[in-house]
Amino acid sequence: MTNAKTIGIDASRAVGRTRTGTENYSWQLIRALMQEPVDFRWRLYTNGTSETLADAITADTDLVDIPSRRLWTHVRLSRELVQHRISGLFVPSHVIPLYHPPSVVTIHDLGYLHWPEAHPKNQVRMLDWTTRWSAKVARHIIVPSQQTADDLVRFYRTPASKISVIYHGVDPRMSPIGDGTDVVLRDHYGLVNPFVLAVGTIQPRKNLPILAQAIQELDGVDLVIAGKHGWMADQVMSEIDAAGLGDRLRVLNYVPDDDLPALYRAAAVFAQPSRFEGFGMPILEAMACGTPVVVARGSSLDEIGGKAALRFDHDNVPELTDQLSTLLHSDAAREHAVSEGIAWAGQFNWQQTALKTRIVLEENLIS
């Protein structure tokens, strides 16, 4: 029997202990959606870790925990959707299961088609298949940038009318106003000198070696990288080490969400040298914390960085060095970048993201 007033959400990616980009999107969006006024019920599907969402549950929400180590989406979730039918399914950070009711999916980026060499070959094939499948069978698609919308039209011939661009929000904890944790964080991570910060999984697409080469040309500033090791991380680290920064390089690995605001505030400059991004959340987080930002031109970074970020061509070390030097040594340039960044990042909030998402879900999943 179908419950025509229930929208299910694949929350399996929102409940991990070490959330990064798409997982954090799921976490923030689901929590914001639960606060939206609705005349239907939500049903959240998780994979054995539902307790991390307990404080987000409202009277309009059911929680279904389906523990499974393998084939969770296509076997376990599909089975649940057959046995207990709902009017529609929202998949914010994964793939639509083989059996599904009318569905809406968020597709974050098609970076694997722009830079296939930055992924294992089998991963490129899997990402291509699963994304193509989701784009085809979804009733509607949400994307975080116009870049991703254009890529879906270009590579998969997805009708533009089937796509809605809905930007991510910024965690309200991201603020230029510090607290007592800022000094504690510096001491905890041993951050003594001025530093340029990069946040994100260590992998080829992030283009971190070029940042290390630029820092090598600057005196009196360190490079701090916060991010877990991903695909080809050892090779990336070898290329970073080859820049010769020595003890001017600090790799913090994964930094908990609670530490990020103070870490952004502590940085002299935030840099995002990625070859490709579907959104680039750390850009806005750094801006919201009052840190000036330098980004690589291209992909969604131009779109998300707005007029507040300084730019460089992602293979141009001298240009990156000059932009970093400007923000490190020019008070006027720094103050302008900080004020513009705070104002720009202030336009992105999760409640607006949730409101626009809820409207898409209602229009496409509630008959």
Cα dihedral sign, 226-232-234-235: negative
From 258, 52, 108, 291, select the one nearest 171 (Cα to Cα): 258
What's the rounded Cα separation, in Å, for the pair 252 and 189?
8
- pLDDT for res 257: 87
**288-346, pLDDT tens digit by residue?**
999 999 999 988 999 999 999 999 998 999 999 999 999 999 999 999 999 999 999 99
Q: What is the pLDDT of residues 146-156, one digit of tens each?
A: 999 999 999 99
Q: At what angle do helices 21-33 and 350-365 cross, to 10 degrees?
A: 80
* 202 vs 2, higher pLDDT: 202
Q: What is the mean pLDDT of residues 171-188?
A: 89
Model confidence band, residue 51 (pLDDT cutoffs 50, 70, 90): low
Model confidence pTM above 0.95: no
CATH of region 3-169+349-365: 3.40.50.2000
pLDDT score, position 2? 45
pLDDT at 15 over 50: yes
Read off φ and ψ for residue 68, nearest 5 degrees.
Answer: -165, 135
The pLDDT of residue 1 is above 50:
no
**pLDDT per residue as tens digits for the range 254-304:** 898 889 999 999 999 999 999 988 899 999 999 999 999 999 998 899 999
Q: What is the mean pLDDT of residues 66-76?
A: 87
3-state helix, strand, coil in the chain (%, to 5): 45, 15, 35
CA distance 365 to 353: 18
Q: What percent of the chain is modeled with pLDDT above 90?
A: 74
| Each residue's pLDDT tens digit, 216-243 | 999 999 999 999 898 889 999 999 999 9
Domain ranges of the chain: 3-169+349-365, 181-345
Is it true that domain 181-345 has CATH number 3.40.190.10? no
Equal fold, 3-169+349-365 vs 181-345: yes
Predicted confidence (pLDDT) at residue 117 exceeds the cutoff of 90? no
Q: Are 251 and 208 in contact (CB under 8 A)?
A: no
**How many Å is the Cα radius of gyration of the chain?**
21
What end-to-end distance do the CA atoms of the chain give, in Å?
16
Q: Would you state the structure tokens that stand for residue 339, as one six-digit string?
A: 């004020």
Q: How confident is the model at residue 25 (pLDDT cuts 50, 70, 90)?
A: very high
Q: How many CB atoms lie within 10 A of CB 193?
A: 13
Sheet with 3-10, edge to edge strand ranges? 61-65, 41-46, 3-10, 86-91, 103-106, 140-143, 163-165
